[in-house]
Structure 1
Amino acid sequence: MPFQAGLDLLRLQGDIVWAGAEFTAKVVSDPFLRMMVRKGDGKTPVMTLPGFTGPEVSLQPLNQFLNANGYVAQSWGLGVNRGIRDMAHMENLSALLGDRLKEMADRHGRPVALIGQSLGGVFARELARRNPELVDRVITLGSPAHFSEAPKKVNALVARVMALYTGRAVEELLREVEDLNLNISEPPPGVPLVSIYSLYDGVAPAPTTRIPQRFLASKDGVPRENIEIVCSHCGMGVNPLVLLAVADRLAEDGKNWVPFDPLNYATGPIRHASRWFYPSRLSPSAA
């Protein structure tokens, strides 16, 4: 519909402009952010996976931030994320990523943390599902967490671009997934999962990117957590508020998981302001 197409165009343009402002905020706040964040031990490997149409350089600021704060972060090594054409293509990508994941885990002598933006987060969850012994945790940034509503809610212009890139409509691909009985919406078993999402996401709205309630309280005690942050979709990899949460969750003990609380980083009047930027500090058992 013309009205919906126009609305989605405005949403996407606004999201991109906002992302530019977030990158500026990251540059300005970087010295202070590095003093605040929890640090890694200098040995923990991290693989970052870009979003749809995103080149590897799109997450380079995130990699640089993590490398400066005690992690060994690198991109997925597959160039631009061009989406998937069919499940055979998905199998090929999964095999390539699995080899890279094993190489990283072997080189560092420990499991790898995965951080995926948008579609990259979908790949990260699938990679963890197939290789749980090689993955320490998964953090997704604005990534669809369940797919039944995705075709109806994801920005229509983005869905059309995806169809042009892959030659397959999103709905068609999802029908193939259903026919094969692949439960790609389910969290990877045994692997801590964090979903960072925004109510103001101009591409993948919050109802599609939050971990569904039925998966939050896992019977096996594996941490699963939703973190709402006021941010754009395209700028999640550079937004200082997101970077703070990512560093915090990377440093959290997977066996003694404590939910993210931004108040740990705020004092005085800033404690009240933090509620504006982290409006819903959700625990692993919350909706």
Structure 2
Amino acid sequence: MPFQAGLDLLRLQGDVIWAGAEFTAKVVSEPLLRMLARKGDGKTPVMTLPGFTGPEVSLQPLNQFLNANGYIAQSWGLGVNRGIRDMAHMENLSAVLGERIKEMAERHERPVALVGQSLGGVFARELARRFPEHVDRVITLGSPAHFGEAPKNVNVMVARVMALYTGRAVEDLLREVHELNLNISEPPAGVPLVSIYSLYDGVASAATTRIPQRYLKNQHKAARENIEIVCSHCGMGVNPLVLLAVADRLAEDKKNWVPFDPLNYAAGPISHASRWFYPSRLSPRAA
């Protein structure tokens, strides 16, 4: 365990450094991104949910990008994401966020799209299950999509910090979930779900953050889509390639869903470079 903790600490540090480079890339490429990205109609509300220990400002670059491209994006309004202590805490959190989603949907006269990073994506999926009539779609960024082996596939250092914040080990919380016979891995019924993940994620493994194949096969009621992008975990909310994919999926017609195609943004010779950054979309491994 000490060896694994040391290794995971290095992975986490590397992930944070990479995220800083991704933010710089976003700032430099902003004019091009806004030109290339699919545009919203100026009426679609979007709520963003930060990852564990993430303050609302961590997704402010994403909100600004979406607002500049025809969406009405705002944060969840609860400050830092401190995780959940138990299922009773989850119930209270869901009630508060459910009211905010309902208010947004009524104010804009259409359902709300939810974009959650890491643990924020887990919350987003749960909210869509509870309030499907008010949620348009869910896009998760590096979020665990199933929990059978979650403790083994999450960075040890992150799991320890979560235990300090919440007073509960991840394993204990999952045990409570199983005892209540809750399937929090089940995608929200009738609501499109997109999982953006990375094989190089320094916090949660791709095996955990991809939507399981058994759910991808059942898409007659709502789209289910995995999009692999070469990026860090901490920087998903600022990575230019992720921002393009998020805007693309927000603009997609949920009744006539067409899978994400990065070649729409990479014409001519640079189309070959797309294979490096969106590997699963351009290879037989595509999910």
Task: Bin the TM-score by the shorter chain.
Answer: over 0.9
- Structure 2 match to 1:195: 195
CA deviation string 1:104-146 (max 9, x = no partner): 0000000000000000000000000000010000000000000
What is the RMSD of the two structures over their aligned residues, measured on CA atoms? 1.2
- Structure 2 match to 1:236: 236
Task: Report if the CA contact (8 A) 2:56-2:76 is conserved.
Answer: yes
Mapping 1:164-179, distance limit 5 Å: 164-179=164-179
TM-score, structure 1 normalization? 0.98
Deviation at 1:221, TM superposition (A): 3.5
CA deviation string 1:48-92 (max 9, x = no partner): 000000000000000000000000000000110000000000000
Instruction: Find the aligned partners of 2:282 and 2:143 in 1 and give their Cα distance.
Output: 17
Deviation at 1:220, TM superposition (A): 3.0
- Structure 1 match to 2:61: 61
| Structure 1 runs (4+) greater than 4 angstroms displaced | none
Task: Report if the CA contact (8 A) 1:104-1:112 is conserved.
Answer: yes
Task: Report if the CA contact (8 A) 1:226-1:282 is conserved.
Answer: no
Task: Report if the CA contact (8 A) 1:216-1:286 is conserved.
Answer: no
Report how many residues are paired: 286
Q: Which runs of 5+ in 1 are unaligned?
A: none
**Amino acid aligned to 2:126:** E
Instruction: Find the aligned partners of 2:29 and 2:197 in 1 and give their Cα distance.
Output: 21
Secondary structure of 1:257's aligned partner: coil
Secondary structure of 2:281's aligned partner: coil
- Structure 2 match to 1:161: 161
Secondary structure of 1:182's aligned partner: coil
Deviation at 1:282, TM superposition (A): 7.9
Mapping 1:1-287, distance limit 5 Å: 1-218=1-218, 220-281=220-281, 287=287
Task: Report if the CA contact (8 A) 2:147-2:185 is conserved.
Answer: yes
Instruction: Find the aligned partners of 1:220 and 1:250 in 2 and give their Cα distance.
Output: 19
Task: Report if the CA contact (8 A) 2:198-2:230 is conserved.
Answer: yes
Identity within the alignment, %: 87
CA deviation string 1:229-269 (max 9, x = no partner): 00000000000000000000000000000000000111111
C-alpha change, 1:32 and 1:219, in structure 2 (3 Å) is: closer
Task: Report if the CA contact (8 A) 2:275-2:282 is conserved.
Answer: no
Instruction: Find the aligned partners of 1:259 and 1:219 in 2 and give their Cα distance.
Output: 12
Q: Which runs of 5+ in 2 are unaligned?
A: none
**Amino acid aligned to 2:94:** S
Deviation at 1:219, TM superposition (A): 5.1
Task: Report if the CA contact (8 A) 1:38-1:251 is conserved.
Answer: yes
Instruction: Find the aligned partners of 1:286 and 1:215 in 2 and give their Cα distance.
Output: 15
